[in-house]
Structure 1
Amino acid sequence: MSERHSDEPVDGRTDRRPAGELEASVLAALWAAGKALTPGAVRKELGGGLARTTVTTILTRLHAKGAVTRARSGRGYAYAPAQDSHGLTARRMHAELDKDADRGTVLARFVSDLSPADEQLLRSLLDDARPDGGDAGR
């Protein structure tokens, strides 16, 4: 019996997409549509190359992650993005931050790796978010 490594495809296929690419494609289709879509409509927007069950599975996973909302549509659901792409990126950043108990160190490392322009942008955003107009601590 030959030994098979876990990263080798079982059926000889090598055309698998990288992890997350399908989810990103489905979200892009939903954002482009600007309205809730059924799995069949999402499949059509993606060019029809995926099975409807695959699209349904991706949408179900995105719903479980809070990335899409769903509402009844006939016997199934129609899905819509929960946020725009910027909101989703911010949500992912929060999720990564929540994975580490030492938030201060994570944030310090993040800030230390910012470019000067991004650091200035972050400072400006933080100042604008202060109720006193950003005068605190100056």
Structure 2
Amino acid sequence: MTRVWKWNRPVTVREVLEDLQKERSIAYTTVMTVLDNLHQKGWVRREAEGRAYRYEAVSTRAAYAAALMNDAWSQSDNPAAALVAFFGMMSEEQRHALRDAVRIVQGPETAEPPEPAPPREPSEHRERTEPGEPREPNEHGEPKERREEKEPGEDNPGAAEGGAGR
């Protein structure tokens, strides 16, 4: 698979053979058998070209590595502990790559958690919004509902005396 991923294009048995023979002695039939086995397992697809086949990876090397990690993680009896142990094995460079990947998956709107708003004092005055004025968005990106605070007793005569207003 390494050779097929390396070229990132459909390859023949002959091309893989010649590349491997730069490092070691290997038979044509061995390479042909391995590529056929990879095809049977669904890792490569092949297309006939004359009397030979061209083989192409079904997925990227990154997708394959991710599937291996997911499989190993899902077989753990304690996934959180497995992740902690895995992260502990990572180099600083790998941890930076992990942070970048998490930012990509979360998207820009969730990459940085919003700062919590300071608690409001009951006597704090909220600004009233005039009709037609732009309003800041809520957590879903929609304009917040207009809230106009009323003074005690305003439009609710019983509220000033602590009554429920009738």
TM-score by length of 1: 0.57
The farther-off stretch of 30-39 and 104-113 is: 30-39
Look up the SS of the partner of 1:127 in the other structure: helix
d(CA) in 2 for partners of 1:32, 1:111: 28
The two structures, once aligned, show a CA RMSD in angstroms of: 3.1
Deviations 1:19-50 (A, max 9, x none): xxxx5xxx32x345443122233223323832
Say if 2:48 is the partner of 1:72: yes
Look up the SS of the partner of 2:111 in the other structure: coil
1:109 matched residue in structure 2 = 85
d(CA) in 1 for partners of 2:74, 2:36: 23
Q: CA deviation at 1:114?
A: 2.4
1:17 matched residue in structure 2 = none
Q: Structure 1 residues 44, 117: CA separation in 2 closer, same or farther (over 3 Å shift)?
A: closer
d(CA) in 1 for partners of 2:94, 2:79: 20
Structure 1 residue ranges without an equivalent (≥5)? 1-22
1:35 matched residue in structure 2 = 9
Give the number of equivalent residue pairs: 112
1:120 matched residue in structure 2 = 96
2:111 partner amino acid: G
2:15 partner amino acid: A
2:112 partner amino acid: D
The answer on whether the counterparts of 1:38 and 1:73 sit within 8 Å (CA) in structure 2 is no
Higher relative contact order (CA 8 A, sep 6+): 1
Look up the SS of the partner of 1:70 in the other structure: strand
Q: CA deviation at 1:56?
A: 1.4
Q: Structure 1 residues 137, 97: CA separation in 2 closer, same or farther (over 3 Å shift)?
A: farther
Higher helix share: 1
1:89 matched residue in structure 2 = 65
Q: CA deviation at 1:135?
A: 2.4
1:35 partner amino acid: R
1:100 to 76, 79, 82: 76
Q: CA deviation at 1:127?
A: 2.1
Identity %: 24
Q: CA deviation at 1:54?
A: 0.6
1:129 matched residue in structure 2 = 105
2:21 matched residue in structure 1 = 47
2:151 matched residue in structure 1 = none
Q: Structure 1 residues 110, 79: CA separation in 2 closer, same or farther (over 3 Å shift)?
A: same
2:118 matched residue in structure 1 = none
